[in-house]
Amino acid sequence: MPHTLSDIFNGCIGYTYDDIILLPGYIGFSSKDVDLTSPLTKNIRLKVPLVSSPMDTVTESKMAIQMALQGGIGIVHCNCSIDQQVDEIKKVKRFNNGFIYNPIVLSPSDTIADIHKAYNQYHYSSFPITEDGKVGSKLIGIIDQSSIDFINDTTLPLSNIMVISFATANHTVKLHIANDILKRNPQQSLLPIVNDNHELHAILCRKDLRNIRTYPLASKNWKTKQLLVGAAISTHQDARERATRLVKGGVDVIVVDSAQGCSFYQLEVIQWLKHKFPDIDVIGGNVVTQKQAQYLIDAGVDGLRVGMGIGSICTTQSVCGVGRAQGTAVYRVAQLASAYGIPVIADGGITSIGHIVKALAIGASTVMMGSMFAGTDEAPGNYILKNGARLKKYRGMGSLEAFKASESAMARYLPSLSKSPPHSSDVQIAQGVSGYVASKGSLQDYMPYLRKGLQIGLQDIGVQCCQDLKHLTDTGEVCFELRSMAAMREGDVHHLHMNDI
């Protein structure tokens, strides 16, 4: 007999994704018409409900850029210095823009060597040139990488080779009109925006126009047109300084990162963040019970991260004997959070598209993943070949290896009354392991695959958007069944020789 969610999850047994199966519904639409838009926080919506985890083998700037371009968002880890984390955020923010008000500017006395240096540091290939190399100074030229491709003398001053005849726009111009001007001047890689005295005010880049066409689902700040990016902070001594620097760097959402998020330390950090930066959304966690969630909601969170000890590299449940089955955790927390309009992020335990569909059906608004993204080209680290397989390092932030990399990892698992970070000399209880995951290629191919799989999953259920999925599960129109072990085996690949012939 089909069950509703309350039938399954309000008992004393904890269930996870593999324990349940969704029953199909009526299909009256194409899978391409399924809308996956869903809230990450109270104020941020994603067109693809996928989030990359703040782990040092998962999310840095390359991952965050591609996640945002594909409609999701990346949360940059904090297992590094403040300077390093802020630099990763700035790389994301510089990648895609509307008007760029703080461009990299060169002077006529700079040389080709300076262009190479700027390109290597910022990955820009075109630059405005002003009298003194600063914004607000008189614009006298522009230059791009193609102008110097065949010049061997790197000491040559830019005054000898810069372009001095080019289109500009006045600083009062609207963005869509500036875009049209740039389209009408295909020889220019950038459009300088100047004031009435021809002093540089901002620039507009052609690359950003191409990105609009290539990535229509991109997650952007609607004011700046820059890509959305999040960052993690701990609850320890450097949390306030780190958060302040991250906000100045342009971060859109801050995740207070703790394995057990219902603590005095986290509540204090959340309250401080909401008082100090009321326009920045804050995600709290991790939690798995309604009681935990209530504390964080009362503190002012804009989103809740749910999951404890269920990641493929996490050992919290076996080491500490504490945690909860992820399906039950997501459902129970979402039941409370929805009454306050707080979105829930299902974090961990995801190994397939089917798990993502189930997480969304149970009550999650978005799904955070580590291992699913760790093997991609955009994840930090290099590939290795082992027994003919192409692999990439993946480690839990509670592993001894992560502890050795930075005290920030220990801070996630070892809170202290002094709020100072634990030291490497302290007794260390690992709650994670290190290993390798198989290569998944680039996110440019992998994210569209995940997105299409989600659309087909919702189509099979008979719902056309994530909002309908939540409504129909709440009303009992979308039904579930519990699965026996035999049913689980039957629903996977079986009775087949998988070796290539």
Q: Are 262 and 287 in contact (CB under 8 A)?
A: yes
Q: Nearest 5°: CA angle at 127, between 132 and 203?
A: 95
AA identity, residue 340: Y
The DSSP element (H or E) to which 392 belongs, if any, is strand 389-395
Tell me the sheet residues that pair with 254: 231, 282
Enter the tokens of residue 338. Answer: 């929805």
Enter the tokens of residue 291. Answer: 């009681």
CA distance 273 to 247: 10
Question: Which position has the token pair 């985890």?
Answer: 53
Exposed/middle/buried for residue 151 (C-beta within 10 Å: 0-12, 13-18, 19+): exposed
Q: Are 108 and 141 in contact (CB under 8 A)?
A: yes
Q: Give me the catalytic one of 412, 451, 466, 479.
A: 412
Q: Are 135 and 105 in contact (CB under 8 A)?
A: yes
CA distance 394 to 377: 13
Q: Give me the catalytic one of 78, 262, 314, 479.
A: 314
Phi, psi of 49 (to 5 degrees): -80, 50
Angle between helices 239-249 and 264-276 (to 10 degrees): 40
Catalytic site residue 320? no
Q: Where are the beta strands (DSSP E) in 10-123?
A: 20-22, 38-39, 45-46, 50-52, 73-76
Q: What is the dihedral of CA 414, 419, 421, 425, to 10 degrees?
A: -70
Tally of helices (H runs) and strands (E runs) in the chain: 18, 20
Q: Residue 322: which of 331, 333, 310, 305 has the closest Cα?
A: 310
Show Cβ contacts of residue 75 under 8 Å, excluding neighbours closer than 6 positions.
51, 52, 53, 54, 59, 64, 229, 230, 231, 232, 253, 255, 368
Reported as half-sphere exposure (CB side, CA atoms, 13 A), residue 442 has a value of: 7
Rg of the chain in Å (alpha carbons): 25
Catalytic site residue 213? no
CA distance 159 to 137: 16
Tell me the sheet residues that pair with 304: 284, 344
CA distance 114 to 254: 35
- As annotated, the active-site residues are 314, 412
